[in-house]
A and B are shown apart, each in its own frame.
Chain A
Amino acid sequence: MKSLLAVVFVLGCASWLCSNAQAQEKPKVRVGSKSFTESVILGDLLYHLGNQAGADMEHLSELGGTQVLWKALVKGDIDAYVDYTGTIQELLSKLVEPGVEVRTEADMRAAMDKLDIVMTDRVGFNNTYALGMRDAIAEKLGITKISDLRGHPELKFGISDEFMERNDCWRQLPAKYRLPHKDVRTMDHNLAYRGLAHNSIQVTDLYTTDAEIEFYKLRVLEDDKGFFPTYYSVILMRKDLAKRAPKVAEAYLKLENAIDSKAMTGMTAKVRLDRLLEANVAAEFLNEKMNLSIPYQGIGPLAEWKRFLGRFTKTTLEHLFLVAVSLTLAIATAIPLGILSARNEAFGQTILAVVGVIQTLPSMAILVFMIPLFGLGAYPAIAALFFYSLLPIVRNTYAGLTQIPKATIESADVLGLGRRARLRLVELPLALPSILSGVKTAAVINVGTATIGAFIGAGGYGAPILTGIRLSSIPLILQGAVPAALLALIVQYGFSIVERRFVSPGLQSRL
């Protein structure tokens, strides 16, 4: 019996060593994608190819835009992603030394090389920006090209954030075409399609490979002055990938000139209109094109249900992690800051002003600032949530302490308690209702704000919301929004219990 156990033990150790050795051999490769369907499919293509090339792959999908992906690539948090020449040109214009021209793809490749990034040849398709309208309305107004818009100043524009801010898009476009339109607002690209359908806007920016063009029966307006740059897709990957995982880097080069516009639009349509999974669409393309045999993810109600449960568990754990860590750090920092503020008026005013200003910073901006420091994933999100949680706690601690009547403080002093004992035995217990309500406010805001973590790969309930918006899927949006709302209620209720438990009954009538 003993010898049998020994054999089992030795075998166990051996298999553990083997699996460990295998895991060490397998290079870890991370790829990213932006939060639109084409990018997610391209990310999945990179994921499958990497897997086939023997790497331990991870796809950080639906990150919050070019800046997030670019910073993550430079920092090494991702190894590769697909971007577009027009975007890259815009990106590089701010990074190269003054005087250096970045016009051709060769220029871009050279500039990227200096930054230790490999830019591949074109993947094949050109997905440029365009302006689009519903065909019926364009027909009625006689609009076929962008210049025609000039005669219709009453039209409402709904354009994406990035389109609004880019030099090669909205910043220059109205001047180039002398467009008179005043009602121009930014909105999510996917919501803009819905806006068009409901006629709350009439013109939006499009990507020329969008599957919705056909679905919503849109007319792509001719760029008659040749304003928009070309947007050929290329893979950007870190130079060190070729050393770390040469087979993966090699496999990615196989995508050069492999996908034309028709193929890309077809894949996007399968996801957006036929509701297939991105991973399966990408697998199907590779299996046919490159004779691979990538397994498909299960379909049907049972697989759907399993995915739902898996996603729910995963996002809940991620969300709780973000909230718990950031809130704990914020409490540990903000209460001492509040105490110091109450002790010293000048310091207090400064601290309150600083945490107040932090509160006004847009969350996306804080997230992007955090990437160079913390990379992608939970840590930058925790940092951002930490900053947002400070104000309510600092302010309520300060208010709770400064509102204690002077006579009460004097009573403690005259008793001979000393400052530290006075704080611990008298001031903090008296300020506790106020401090707790500050923590409660911070926690509820935190639960809601943590959904932005999805923009930088931190997961949480924001992830299904983001995917839901992208795929116009209300059930998916609800899979994020409903648990987030419930969690906020639970947190609120939890703190009421804490209040009842820890606040002195002598103060409860004041709550």
Chain B
Amino acid sequence: MFSLNNVSKSFGNLQVLKPTTVDFHTGESTVLIGPSGCGKSTLLRILVGLIDADAGTILFDGTPLTVQNIQQQRQRMGYVIQDGGLFPHLTARQNVGLLASHLGWDQAKVKARVEELAELTRLPRVALDRYPSQISGGQRQRVGIMRALMLDPAVMLLDEPMGALDPLVRFDLQEDLRKIFRTLGKTSIMVTHDMGEAAFFGDRVMMLGEGEVVQEGRLEELIQNPTNEYVARFINAQRIPQS
């Protein structure tokens, strides 16, 4: 799906992403994990073209991503951020249907698709015609996911999507989201710093530290054979409730 070759990025003197060569495979869900400032969000933002890489090439489905084609290619990516990133002046329905309407979809088709997605993400119908400020955080997140899914993208990119939610809401949404991705067979790349979430979602886990990929593989491999002290410390730092 994505194939990165020697991609790097610096902000001033700070190299936030060292030259990185990785592949993200079609149909697989990859979780990027690591502490704050490790470069995981930067990597995701480079993929959607919000940050231009200093060097290296990115192939998306075999096509190199460029400034010229990024806008077109983005319509094949679904991007979800914390709290949904919704437009406050539009209702949930309008948020989800904005791009499709702009691209000239028939209104009936837009309506049908939005309602299909509401069903899929278990968003209550009444919430569809409310504004973002009038619905709950969990519902906003569901709307954000619907908006990303609207054009049936080839890949879903999620930047700490559950970051702002309380545990109960988060739990339900995680369940639903995994079910959706499995049902649709979507390729997904998710950024999180939560091991539990990584374990729940990731077919493959990619751990980053100080701007580079430290280890990748299935989560069990990382737990059983951490390549270095850093990975071991990060894994062990996750607190499990004592009985």
Contacts and interface: CB of A to CB of B under 8 A. Distances in A.
Interface stretch (A90-98, A227-235, A377-385, A411-419): A411-419
Interface residues of B, number: 26
A415 B131 CA distance: 19
Contact of B87 (A418, A426, A432): A426
A416 B48 CA distance: 10
Contact of A418 (B71, B88, B131): B71
Contacts of A353: none
B79 A506 contact: no
B114 to A, nearest CB: 15
B89 interface: yes
A410 interface: yes
Contact of A506 (B72, B89, B99): B89
Contacts of A415: 74-75, 79, 98-99, 147
Interface string A398-422: 0000000001101111111110010
A432 B87 CA distance: 14
Interface in A410-453: 410-418, 421, 425-426, 429-430, 432
A422 to B, nearest CB: 10
B102 A425 contact: yes
Given A415-B99, A506-B131, A506-B132, A430 B74 contact: no
A411 B79 CA distance: 8
A417 B72 CA distance: 9
B95 to A, nearest CB: 9
A418 B68 CA distance: 11
A418 B70 CA distance: 10
Contacts of A408: 85, 87-88
Contact of B102 (A421, A429, A430): A421
Query: Contact size class for A?
Result: 20 to 34
Nearest to A413: B50
A505 interface: yes
Given A505-B131, A506-B131, A412 B87 contact: yes
A409 to B, nearest CB: 10
A11 interface: no
A410 B48 CA distance: 10
Contact of A411 (B75, B85, B91, B134): B85
B133 interface: yes
A414 B131 CA distance: 21
Given A416-B71, A416-B72, A506-B132, A411 B102 contact: no
Contacts of B75: 415-416
Contact of A504 (B50, B79, B131): B131
A407 B132 CA distance: 15
Contacts of A425: 98, 102
A509 interface: yes
Contacts of B81: 407, 410-411
A354 interface: no
Interface string B72-86: 111101010100011
A430 B79 contact: no
Contacts of A490: none
A333 to B, nearest CB: 25
A507 interface: yes
B99 A504 contact: no
B133 A414 contact: no
Interface string A230-257: 0000000000000000000000000000
A430 B98 contact: no
A408 B63 CA distance: 28
A416 B99 contact: yes
A429 B131 CA distance: 14
A55 B49 CA distance: 75
Nearest to B131: A506
A410 B85 contact: yes
Given A416-B74, A506-B90, A506-B132, A407 B102 contact: no
Contacts of B77: 414
Contacts of A432: 89
Interface string B33-66: 0000000000000001110000000000000000
Interface string A90-132: 0000000000000000000000000000000000000000000
B80 to A, nearest CB: 9
A507 B88 contact: yes
B154 to A, nearest CB: 13
Contact of B88 (A413, A416, A421, A430): A430
Contacts of B134: 506
Given A415-B99, A416-B74, A507 B50 contact: no
Contacts of B49: 413-414
B128 to A, nearest CB: 14
A504 B147 contact: no
Interface in B125-178: 131-134, 147
Nearest to A431: B89
B101 to A, nearest CB: 9
Nearest to B86: A411
A504 B90 contact: yes
Given A504-B131, A506-B133, A417 B102 contact: yes
B214 to A, nearest CB: 27
Contacts of A504: 88-90, 131
A415 B95 CA distance: 11
Contacts of B131: 504-506
Contacts of A426: 87, 89
22 contacts: A407-B81, A408-B87, A410-B81, A411-B81, A411-B86, A411-B87, A414-B74, A415-B74, A415-B75, A415-B99, A415-B147, A416-B73, A416-B74, A416-B99, A417-B99, A418-B71, A421-B102, A429-B89, A430-B89, A505-B131, A506-B132, A509-B133
Given A506-B91, A506-B133, 8 more contacts: A411-B87, A415-B98, A415-B147, A416-B75, A504-B131, A506-B89, A506-B132, A506-B134
Interface of B: 48-50, 71-75, 77, 79, 81, 85-91, 98-99, 102, 131-134, 147
